[in-house]
Structure 1
């Protein structure tokens, strides 16, 4: 860890405390965690969302559909151990503050903050200056920071497929043993194979067909997800 002066140490301590509080916060009666800024669902003029996170074992409140898409990427990323939304607040001076879109922790133990915008190319000057200030403060405090937009997201068809695979397969957690058994069974089949044949084969082997969706969502099996999901689509498993 780089040398931190007293102000940087104070900010880092405050951010770590906020992160700990965010990850220990209990969901409300609806099972939703809202973060430091409560997001009202169905607010006029906003496309808010609720995302049921299997990785977090709770539902997160989101300000936009783009954020919901980013949740899918966090769910797929094996290096991300957990994430929260609207969880860090940083004072920028002159009465201005910043609240993070996403905070997530990696397997290596690092903390990463992600800001999600529709387009980085069309940010106004004030927003660029503000985000540069946020970046400097977070970097000095040992937190990673980056800005993502639609160019970092899957295309419409792939995104629709990922949502479908996630919704179908996230009815319960799947153990590593179940995934390994499913992959072992699928390796017995000629490759590539039709998705419908995978469902039948897993069922006949005494395993849930939904394991195929789980493997595809997490990239443990392969398919061209830029085309619509169909039972006759070609799927495969790594050699």
Structure 2
């Protein structure tokens, strides 16, 4: 079982038993700061989806394998556990299925997802299918992974120092120029500010020291 490390935090237990890594799968523990605990992911693609939810300001929390749904699928009763439940700031809830592009198109899955969507709609909730082509858009995903990982362990003092410096500087500036200041902010504070959107940049290009950042 692969683990993305974080200081402290518990592990959220999923409803459905998730076995350790099997052939073609790599069980991962994702260190969620938004949830304040580690999230068990059945495959790495699910962990990659977590980076997007961590970045999305509208997402309050999310949890894996949240509920067993009893559905009627093409005249037969089936049980189904979505991969995630995502809670948004407006109070709405979305149940999410994470699947590779070459898997979700199979008729048996499409019928199941239609039944789940109809069932949840009646409860006033949403169903969403997330595929690898959506989750793993590059370089956006790599930028999310890089900034989220590099922000680990940043302290409130580092964050406050960066804000003080930015208040005396004129945007935009390259990241390398900020790091070249006589008393530069820490790389961790810059990564945290980028991930939490206090600093803005072009996420459609790889983030590097030559990237221009904006604030204010």
1:172 shift after superposition: 5.4
Q: Which has the higher helix share?
A: 1
Is contact 2:9–2:37 with CA below 8 Å preserved after alignment?
no
For 2:139, the equivalent position in structure 1 comes to 157
For 2:171, the equivalent position in structure 1 comes to 191
1:41 shift after superposition: 3.1
The TM-score normalised by the length of structure 2 is: 0.81
Gapped regions of structure 1 (runs ≥ 5): 1-28
The TM-score normalised by the length of structure 1 is: 0.74
In 2, the alpha carbon distance for the partners of 1:229 and 1:137 equals: 41
For 1:78, the equivalent position in structure 2 comes to 57
SS of the aligned residue for 2:124 comes to coil
1:159 shift after superposition: 1.4
CA distance 1:196–1:32, shift in 2 (3 Å): same
CA RMSD of aligned residues (A): 2.9
2:23 matched to 1:32?
Answer: no
- Aligned equivalent of 1:211, options 186, 189, 213: 189
For 1:146, the equivalent position in structure 2 comes to 128
Moved more, 79-88 or 44-53: 44-53
CA distance 1:173–1:60, shift in 2 (3 Å): farther
In 1, the alpha carbon distance for the partners of 2:108 and 2:34 equals: 35
Is contact 1:90–1:97 with CA below 8 Å preserved after alignment?
yes
1:32 shift after superposition: 1.9
For 2:85, the equivalent position in structure 1 comes to 103
In 2, the alpha carbon distance for the partners of 1:104 and 1:53 equals: 13
* Cα distance per residue 1:128-185 (max 9 Å; x no partner): 111111111111011111112133225233312211110111325769xx86774453
In 1, the alpha carbon distance for the partners of 2:77 and 2:127 equals: 22
CA distance 1:95–1:173, shift in 2 (3 Å): farther
In 2, the alpha carbon distance for the partners of 1:82 and 1:30 equals: 15
Is contact 1:85–1:101 with CA below 8 Å preserved after alignment?
yes
In 1, the alpha carbon distance for the partners of 2:130 and 2:24 equals: 22
